[in-house]
Structure 1
Amino acid sequence: MALRVKVGRGEALERSEPVSPTAQYFNSSVLSISVIAVLEFENPINDSSSLALINDVFLPINPRFSSIMVEDEEGGKHWKRVEVKVEDHITVPNFPKGLSLKSYDNYFNEYLSIITTERLPQTKPLWEVHIIKYPTSNASGSVVFKLHHALGDGFSLMGALLSCLQKADNPSLPLTFPNFQKSIKVDSAINKSFMSVVPQALSGAINTVLDFGWSVLKSSFLEDNQSPIRSGKEGVEFRPINITTMTFSLDQIKKIKCSLQVTINDVVTGMIFLGTRLYMEETNDEAKNSNPTALVLFNTRSIGGYKSVDEMVQNQEAQKLWGNQFAFLHVPLPKLNQHEPSLNTLKFVQETQNVIKRKKNSAAVYLIGTLLESVRKYKGPETTAKYIHRTLKNSSMGVTNLIGPLEKMALANQPIKGLYFMVVNVPQSLTVTIMSYMDQLRVAVGTERGLIDPDKFRICIKKAFNMMFNASIESK
């Protein structure tokens, strides 16, 4: 298919950007992973300015939004700038009129399921926008962005979307976000004695070897058993899914955090893991003996927060933050103690926190990155993509989170009530994403249709949260 190559407003293309190895993995013959981002509006949507917004604000953020992935004569892949017809990327579906909110919920959920199973066409830039003008239980209207993971990871893509928005009460001011940077502890390694540093170094080396070896085995041979949260079927990434969301109070989560002296991420991950265990055991009593593993994804950038549109467009250093810069950890789900459920709840969270903290302090994630690069160099990106596909498929679930703005935001002066995202076309039966917005935490759950009961799973997650909150109060 012939395409006219243009840059921005008609300037000739002189050179193209090479496609990064990770982007090639995510857009290969075995993987085609995308991110769905949903913006929920307080008022009915006025889409009259949508074309201008995308042309003037969204497209300039990064050249990849105006590019397609092409292959040269030597097999190398590049981002090739093309002329973008914005109207070809926007869809406004028609639902029946005059239905109840519950009926529109069903139509909306079914529509989401359909667009998640469809692959983005390779003949035009890898994104699309769906404008849903019908009300649901959560919003008066919704805008759904579907963005291919080859364009960037969740931090890049959500950062791009958020940079298009403004404060609802004062559009002239930028959105503010919680600080990403970690506080520096006084008892740093410089101040520690030699006798305390040496055991830690030895422990770190042992953990690195064990974690790296286990990760390689999980990606190659060791496959989680079939369970209420894992079908293990071939092509599970192409099967229909249900996307369910739930909202939690950040103030209550912070109370649990202070009670247990852990991080917010530890509380949320513990809640997800505990709720998953509850669901498994309530669905199948034999599941209490299973040993599912989760892939927990985390951002590897050393930065203080998202970048604005101007920084994304003008600042070369900000552009370097774009792309896929993340790592994943294989984390086993702790088991429940049936005899002391309240005490076990706190122990469950602390055990989850200890495992993740130990694995983050291990150098295994860097060794895995080196391994993937070696496979790519000697066997090519397609073989590496197959390795990553097995890594995802052999585990039971994926968990990832992003930080949202502290105050209410608006798009073209239309207030946004809520937002969430979901990673789709992943060869897993269960994916959980978390995003904060104002004083709330939104948890979205993507479940394989016909295997996992989304309503029951949501109830189990909420039950886990209540157990944790009550246990933290009792422990005080």
Structure 2
Amino acid sequence: MDNVVEGLGLRKRSLKAITTTKRSTSEDVGVDGGLEEPLSPSARLLHEPHFNLYIIAIIGTKTKINPTVVKNGLVHTLLKHPRFCSLQVEVGEKGGKMKWVPTEVNLENHVIVPQIDPEMDLSSPGKFLEDYISDLTKTKIDMSKPLWELHLLNIKTADAEAVGVFRIHHSLGDGTSLISLLLACTRQTSDPNALPTIPVTKTTSVRSSGNYTGIRWIFMAIWGFLLLAWNTLVDIFMFFATTMFIKDTETPLKGAPGVEFALKRFVHRSVSLDDIKLVKNAMNTTINDVVLGVTTAGLSLYLNRRYGENGKNNVGATEKRNNLPKNIRLRSTLLVNIRPSSGIQALSDMMEKKAEAKWGNWIGYVLFPFTISIRDDPLDYVREAKLVIDRKKNSYEALYTFVIAEIVLKLFGIKASAALTHRILTHTTMSFSNVVGPSEEIGFYGHEMSYIAPSVYGHPHAFTINYQSYVNKMTIVLAVDEKAVPDPHKLCDDLEESLKLIKDAVVAKYKDAK
């Protein structure tokens, strides 16, 4: 694969051929049997030109990475997963059906260790890493091999001694399952035989709180059902309205047509998870409520500055006055995994024993509105995020959008489904996700990790934000089209500053209460 940039001073490698070996000539059966199986319609959808998605997972380590050790580990873990040792083969004419075909995997074609020119200037290793990963978005993984790669870069950055970069085609599975699968390849540093532990998020329903008996319980149950039905109807109406005519405001964050094909840049910033938990506990919210509030505040700061710089009366410190247009509509698509993800233990067992585990892409949409404004009280950003999310929890929006997409897919085909998905995304501004990570230090085949930074590219958004927790850190990952967001590090500064303002407001309020 021509995956390295000549301008970065890296030497190219040639792709060796992979021999495809069928294990049986019988009709299609399940992947757990090791035989051919057709790609699901949702997996096939992810190969459409305007929706060709790749997942990027950046892993920072506290030591240099030994490629031999990593390859040996992959043989006993990731390569036991059927999707990671199968080709996606098109059957019949171009654009026809595709099948998973088991193959013998040559790790030399998947684990890429670029040879860095010793004479190259590495005075800014962080920028070198950003450029390297950004260059990956110019290319596709060759279909002659399973659609995943691991790039190992032994360069020291500000927050790691070395970096591993997974690039995985989204057709192999949804983002949450793939990140969980990668974590199933790790072990706790305090106990090399123990898998990571992921904090379990308590799922509470806003419609089921309270203790009611008799007639009052029946009344509240009926009211809860009506509220659920109403919220769902409103959300489904907004889904269809967004498909037909409702578009987000053309802000600086909005991507131009064709942005799905544009070069993407990935930057990340780690903040204190303890600070987020402090706000969560003080305001009786969830971590997700807090990060959504921080995101709203950070985007408001960033856009306020951008509008001030673009205005006619720019006189320096535009952040100190409100430059925002009124009634900005800025929404994010939250992709929700409809089917509960397989746990880390189940995925580890599957790789150990080649057992069957639930897999695939079962994704629904939630449209989340960010209210862009300058608030006197920073805590208002979190309060409003909680109100919106509580309402979304009391709706079957994600499930119904998934069902609608499946109906369109089955009745009208992949092209129509891709067009529907593309229209929803182009009528919104950004994508958002928040993934819970391990609560203890872990090692990637013996290499202690310092951070995890997942993201995605190939969809028609110029701006994507992902939050990933790990021990006492929360890593904010931005994927941007630099034509829309030319200064992603400043946006990271705004998000970090917003968390500080919200935390300081909580501390001040707590002291006043004392």
Distance across 2 between alignment mates of 1:106 and 1:76? 41
Aligned to 1:329: 366
CA change 1:394–1:307 in 2 (3 A) is farther
Contact 1:179 1:305 in 2 (8 A): no
Does residue 88 (structure 1) correspond to residue 112 (structure 2)? The answer is: no
The answer as to 2:196 corresponding to 1:158 is no
**1:465 pairs with one of 479, 485, 499:** 499
Cα drift, residue 188 of structure 1: 6.7
Give the residue type in structure 1 aligned to 2:63: N
Aligned residue in 1 for 2:357: 319
Bigger mean CA offset, 94-103 vs 216-225: 94-103
Residue aligning to 1:293: 331
AA aligned to 1:32 is N
Distance 1:190 1:131 in 2: 60
Which one of 230, 236, 245 corresponds to residue 212 of structure 1? 236
TM-score where L is the length of structure 2: 0.84
The answer for the alignment partner of 2:398 in structure 1 is 365
Gap change, CA 1:90 and 1:19, over 3 Å in 2: same
CA offset at residue 30 of structure 1?
2.4
| Alignment correspondent of 1:114 | 135
5+ residue gaps, structure 2, are: 1-16, 29-35, 308-322
Shift of 1:358: 1.1
Contact 2:148 2:168 in 1 (8 A): yes
Q: Which residue number corresponds to residue 282 of structure 1? A: 305
SS at match of 1:93: coil
Select between 218-227 and 385-394 the one with higher mean Cα deviation.
218-227
Cα deviation for residue 51 of structure 1 reads: 2.8
Task: Say whether residues 1:385 and 2:418 are aligned partners.
Answer: yes
Q: Secondary structure at the match of 1:382?
A: helix
SS of the aligned residue for 1:48 comes to helix
1:69 aligns with 2:102: no
In the superposition, the TM-score normalised over structure 1's length comes to 0.91
CA distance in structure 1 between the partners assigned to 2:500 and 2:177 by the alignment: 33
User: How far does the alpha carbon of each residue in 1:157-177 deviate from its partner, in whole angstroms, 9 at most, with x for none?
Assistant: 111111111111221222212
Distance 1:375 1:317, change over 3 A: farther
Residue 287 of structure 1 deviates from its aligned partner by: 4.2
Q: Is 2:488 the partner of 1:454?
A: yes
Residue type at the aligned position of 2:114: P
Q: Aligned in 2, Cα 1:310/1:419: closer, same or farther, shift over 3 Å?
A: closer
Q: CA deviation at 1:47?
A: 1.3
User: Aligned residue for 2:149?
Assistant: 128
In 1, the alpha carbon distance for the partners of 2:334 and 2:397 equals 14
Find the partner of 1:138 among 159, 179, 194: 159
Q: 1:190 to 1:108 in 2, by over 3 A?
A: farther
SS in 1 for 2:67: coil
- After TM superposition, give the deviation of residue 32 of structure 1 in Å: 0.8
| Contact preservation (8 Å) 2:176, 2:341 | no
Equivalent residue for 1:355? 388
**1:108 to partner: Cα distance:** 0.8
Alignment of 1:416 onto 2:436: no
Aligned-residue offset at 1:432: 0.5
Of 54, 58, 61, the match for 1:41: 61
Work out the CA distance in 2 between the residues paired with 1:208 and 1:102. 53
Aligned residue type for 1:258: N
Shift of residue 458 of structure 1? 0.9
Structure 1 counterpart of 2:4: none
| Contact kept in structure 1, 2:362 and 2:402, CA below 8 Å | no
The answer on whether the counterparts of 1:280 and 1:288 sit within 8 Å (CA) in structure 2 is no
Q: How many residues in Structure 1 have an aligned counterpart in Structure 2?
A: 465
Q: Within 5 A, what are the aligned runs for 1:196-207?
A: 196-207=220-231
The answer to whether 1:104 aligns with 2:125 is: yes
Residues 93, 455 of structure 1: alpha-carbon distance in 2 compared, 3 angstrom cutoff: same
> Given that residues 13 and 81 in structure 1 are in contact (C-alpha distance below 8 angstroms), is that contact kept between their aligned partners in structure 2?
no
Aligned residue type for 1:413 = G
How far residue 288 of structure 1 moved from its aligned partner, in angstroms, is: 4.9
Gaps of 5+ in 1: none
The alignment's C-alpha RMSD in Å is 2.5
**Deviation at residue 29 of structure 1 after TM alignment:** 2.9
Q: CA offset at residue 318 of structure 1?
A: 6.2
- Taking the aligned partners of 1:106 and 1:220, their CA distance within structure 2 comes to 41
Check if 1:341 corresponds to 2:376. yes
